[in-house]
Amino acid sequence: MDALFHSVSLTDRKFLVTGGAGFIGSHITAYLLQHGARVRVLDNLATGLPSNVALFRDHPNYEFMEGDIRDFDVCRRATHGIEYVSHQAALGSVPRSVKDPVSSNEVNVSGFVNVLTAAKDSGVRSFVYASSSSVYGDEPNLPKVEQRTGNLLSPYAVTKMANELYANVFGGLYGIRVAGLRYFNVFGPRQDPNGQYAAVIPLFVSGIINRTPVHINGDGEQTRDFTYVDNAVQANVRAMLAEDSNAFGQAYNVATGNNYSVNFLYNSIAEILGIDHAPVYREPRAGDIRDSLADISKAQRLLGYQPTHQFMDGLKVTVDHFKNYYS
């Protein structure tokens, strides 16, 4: 990660990354450590990976705290002495939330309120959290603009909208500087390639390399604003360190402002790998949005956000990573 996403020294500044053993959280952690920050990671390793802890365990500025955000005392200890919070801990996946809405709510809503309350009580400078493009629901217009949302389509989307509502109330009531990031289909190295809810790109790479059945839901013409993980890291860093008070009390689209079909994604991966392997089409997935495309002008204006990686740049890096993983 060569791009610089901050203009002030991070040396000895104290950050908490919840879910820091996860995909996006581990990339945020890597950036902060690279630039001299002190980073405490809180993760219960339910979906985070021990390998993402091992990456940094020997770093003198890294502290790993195993614990669950559903436990308020854990959150209180995790936020003690912290200046900035990047809250990435969550139970992701629309299908997971459809199957088990209770767990999604406990982690994504109750856990969120625990971390936010503990951060408020600890007097943090800013609190940035992961929201989701799923909050747009069935709103039909493209590109998606932050002030216009529709009917929510999954329990996961409800939990992320609840995060935004709580954040706004806490900002108004307690004066805590809070910002939400609506991620659009973030991808990159270290996405979990295993399990029932594995991310689509590692699944595609694995299936194509091993010539096993690769399933595409629906006709594959649904579109997504696929966003390379460095762009999500940038948004977190810029939001946490924002000096303009107008940057807080907001939710931002984090994307590239371009969308591609799932069929295009699949064919691009096959082309990068140089392997001809046809996918298998199946029924559309419950709770899925048909098309997704972000307007990123708000993040550009208030955070200075500018994507460093477009779709194909990030895809090549990601496919190379998983090609080595499966080789």
Q: Which domain holds residue 301?
A: 14-185+229-256+294-308
Structural domain contains residue 139: yes
pTM of the model: 0.95
State residue 217 phi and psi, 5-degree precision: -80, 135
Structural domain contains residue 195: no
Look at residue 17 and give its three-state secondary structure: strand
How far apart are alpha carbons 14 and 82 in whole angstroms?
5
Structural domain contains residue 28: yes
Amino acid present at 46: A
Structural domain contains residue 217: no
Alpha helices by DSSP H, the chain: 23-34, 50-54, 72-79, 94-99, 101-105, 111-122, 155-174, 200-210, 229-240, 262-273, 297-303, 311-326
Specify the number of domains making up the chain.
1
Q: What CATH number did the domain enclosing 125 receive?
A: 3.40.50.720
Residue 311, C-beta contacts closer than 8 angstroms, at least 6 positions apart: 226, 228, 256, 258, 260
Q: What is the DSSP string of 87-139?
A: E------HHHHHH-HHHHHIIIIIHHHHHHHHHHHHT-SEEEEEEEGGGGTT-
pLDDT along the chain (327 residues), means of 10: 83 97 98 98 96 97 98 98 98 92 98 98 98 94 97 96 98 98 96 78 93 95 96 98 97 98 97 96 85 96 97 96 84
Structural domain contains residue 240: yes
How far apart are alpha carbons 285 and 293 in whole angstroms?
19
Structural domain contains residue 5: no
36 φ/ψ sector (left φ>0, alpha ψ -120 to 50, else beta): left
| Catalytic residue status for 197 | no
What is the distance of C-alpha 88 from the center of its chain? 7
Structural domain contains residue 326: no
**pLDDT for 72:** 98
Amino acid present at 37: A
User: Of 31, 136, 156, 228, which one is the catalytic site residue?
Assistant: 156
How far apart are alpha carbons 217 and 247 in whole angstroms?
37
Structural domain contains residue 50: yes
